[in-house]
Structure 1
Amino acid sequence: MSSPLVTVVTPSYNQAEFLEDTLVSVLEQSGPPVEHVVVDGGSTDGSVELLEEYEDQYNLRWVSEPDEGQSDAVNKGIEMATGEWLCWINSDDYLLLGAIESFAQAREANPRSDFIYGDFVFVDADGNEIGKKYNTKPSKFVHKYWYQFTGNHSSFFKREVMDALGGVDEDYDYAMDTDLFWRLLETDFTLTHVPVFFGARRLHEAAKTTGEPPAERRREIARLEADYPTSAIETLLPKPILSGAAMGLQGLYHLTDGRPEALAHL
C-alpha cells in the first residue's frame, strides 16, 4: 500500500457519544488516500468497541492505553502517522464531506506551501451548524489580540513542519493549539489560507473549551500572553484597544479577500 497523503490524528477519551461522527467523517472522505490514527486514553464508555467496529472498514489504526492527557495523545498520534501531511481532529469534532479532496486541490494549486488551512463551522452537540469561523491570511497581531489565526480542525501540516515544531507542548492542557500556531507563525514556513470549510468544531457542555474557562486554562492563556513579544506601542495601549484593532484588521482582511459575508462572523 502506498503511503497516505494525509494522516488524520485524533486524541480520544470517553467521548463515544461523538467519536462515531469523527470516524465516519474520515471514512467517507473522497480523493487521495487517508490514514486515521486514533489515540485513546483508555476509555471505558464504549469508545473501544466503536474503534473495533470500524477498524476493518477503512485505513484506521488505534491504540487504547493510559496517557498523560490530550497533548500527549496528539504527540503519540504524530509519532504513529505515516502520511506526508498531518491533520489533527479531536474526537468530538469532525471533517466536513470532501475536506481531504479540497485540501489536495489546494495543495496542487499551492505547491510551495508547507501549511495549508481553511475555515470551519461550529456545531452543537447534535451536529447542527450554529456558526462559522472565517479565517484570513496569517497575522501575529490577530492571533495575539483577537482570535488564533486558524484552528486544528481546519489545518494541514507538512510532516516536516510538525517535526520542526516538535509537536504540541505537553505542558499545556488547554492552550496547546494556540501555542502551536503561535510557534508556527514564528517560523519561515510558507503558510497558505484557502477559502474552504474543512472541519466542524463541536460546542457542547462537556467540552474543555466551552463555557467559563477554568483557572488552569486562564493561567495557561496568561503564560502565553506573557511570552508573546510586544512592541513599544503595544505596551502603551490597553488590551481592549488592541483587541478592537485586531478585530478591525481581521475584518479588513475579509474585505480584501472579497468575503464581506465573513464580517457577520467576527
Structure 2
Amino acid sequence: MSNAPLITVIIPAYNAGKTIKTAVLSVLHQTYPSVELIVVDGLSKDNTLQILSELQHVRPFKVISEKDKGVYDAMNKGIVAATGEWVYFLGGDDELYNNEVFKDIFSKPGTVEADMVYGNIWLTEQKKISGGPFTRKEIFWKNISHQAIIYKKALFDRLGVYDMTYKIMADYVFNLKIFAQNDLKLKYVDIVVASFGEEGLSSTRRDEQLKKDRTWLVWQYYSLPYYLYAVFAVPFIDLFKNKLKLIK
C-alpha cells in the first residue's frame, strides 16, 4: 500500500501484565505498513513495564511511564505524543481483531478522505459483533465504542482533547462534538476492528451518567430540534431498552 497515512495506536495501560502482550503484538503484527505505537503506562506496579521492554525486539515502540489522572489523561498524553495523521485507541486488555484490520480499513473507498472512520467490535464474552452505522440521533442514546474508531488527529486540534471532567464518558462527549459538526466526513466500514470482553467501567454507571448529562450536552452542541428529540424521545427509548432487558 503506497503512501499509506501513518496511524498512531495509543494503548493506555496500568497493571496490565496479564493482557498487555496480546494487545501490543496485535498492533506490531499489523500488515499495514505505517503504524506508530505509543503505550502510556500509569506507573504500573506489576510486570507491565518488563513485558513492554521485552517486546521492543519485535519492533521498537514508544513507552511513556508516569503518573496520570486516569485513562483519559493517559489517552490525552498519547495524543500529544502522536505523530500520525490518524489516531486509534486500544485498551491494554483488548486486541485488534486480526493482522489485516488497518490494511482492510484503508483499502475501502473513501476512508482516507474521511475525518473519522469507524467499524464494529467483537464482544468476546457474549460472542457477538456489536456496531453498525450511526445517525446523528442515535448518538444521543448510545455511544460508538472507542475500540471501533480511528480519528484524524486534526479532530483533536479542532475540538480539543478528552474532557477529564467526565471520568467515565469523555469519549462519548467527544463523539457528541464530532456528530454535531456539519462539515465532517464520518465513514462507517463493515469491518470488525477489535475484540474485547467488557467495558472497563460499569455500563450501569455509564448509563446513569449519560441520563444525567445527555440533554445538557445536546443543548450545548446541537440545534433546537435535536435538543427536543433528546429531551422527549430518548427517555422513551431508554425505557423501551430497559423493558427488553427484563424480558430477556
Alignment of 1:120-135 (within 5 A): 120-124=121-125, 130-135=127-132
Q: Do 1:3 and 1:83's aligned partners in 2 also have CA atoms closer than 8 Å?
A: no
TM-score w.r.t. length of structure 2: 0.83
Q: Secondary structure at the match of 1:181?
A: helix
1:224 to 2:214 alignment: yes
Task: Tell me how far 1:243 sits from its aligned partner.
Answer: 6.5
CA gap of 1:244–1:68, structure 2 versus 1, over 3 A, is same
Q: Give the stretch that moved more between structures: 153-162 or 229-238.
A: 229-238
Equivalent residue, structure 2, for 1:72: 73
Q: Which residue of the other structure, out of 78, 91, 101, is the alignment partner of 2:103?
A: 101
CA gap of 1:114–1:153, structure 2 versus 1, over 3 A, is same
Q: Secondary structure at the match of 2:31?
A: coil
Task: Tell me how far 1:237 sits from its aligned partner.
Answer: 4.8
Which letter does structure 2 place at the counterpart of 1:213? Answer: R
1:143 to 2:139 alignment: yes
Q: Secondary structure at the match of 2:38?
A: strand
Equivalent residue, structure 2, for 1:208: 201
CA gap of 1:201–1:60, structure 2 versus 1, over 3 A, is same
Q: Secondary structure at the match of 1:119?
A: strand
Q: Do 1:6 and 1:87's aligned partners in 2 also have CA atoms closer than 8 Å?
A: yes
Task: Tell me how far 1:179 sits from its aligned partner.
Answer: 0.9
Q: Do 2:4 and 2:33's aligned partners in 1 also have CA atoms closer than 8 Å?
A: no
Task: Tell me how far 1:95 sits from its aligned partner.
Answer: 0.9
CA gap of 1:49–1:4, structure 2 versus 1, over 3 A, is farther
Equivalent residue, structure 1, for 2:222: none
Which letter does structure 2 place at the counterpart of 1:135? Answer: G
Task: Tell me how far 1:37 sits from its aligned partner.
Answer: 0.4
Which letter does structure 1 place at the counterpart of 2:22? Answer: D
TM-score w.r.t. length of structure 1: 0.78
Is there any run of 5+ residues in structure 2 with no aligned partner, and where? Answer: 220-225, 242-248
Q: Separation in 1 of the partners of 2:50 and 2:70?
A: 21
Q: Separation in 2 of the partners of 1:167 and 1:233?
A: 27
Equivalent residue, structure 2, for 1:257: none
Q: Which residue of the other structure, out of 149, 152, 161, is the alignment partner of 1:167?
A: 161
Q: Do 1:93 and 1:199's aligned partners in 2 also have CA atoms closer than 8 Å?
A: yes
Q: Separation in 2 of the partners of 1:19 and 1:64?
A: 14
Q: Separation in 1 of the partners of 2:232 and 2:64?
A: 50
1:82 to 2:83 alignment: yes
Q: Do 2:106 and 2:112's aligned partners in 1 also have CA atoms closer than 8 Å?
A: no
Q: Secondary structure at the match of 1:213?
A: helix
Q: Do 1:121 and 1:133's aligned partners in 2 also have CA atoms closer than 8 Å?
A: yes
Q: Residues 189-240 of structure 1, C-alpha deviation per residue, up to 9 Å, x if partnerless?
A: 1101011111112228xx3235x428xx734651234322344465445712
Q: Secondary structure at the match of 1:24?
A: helix
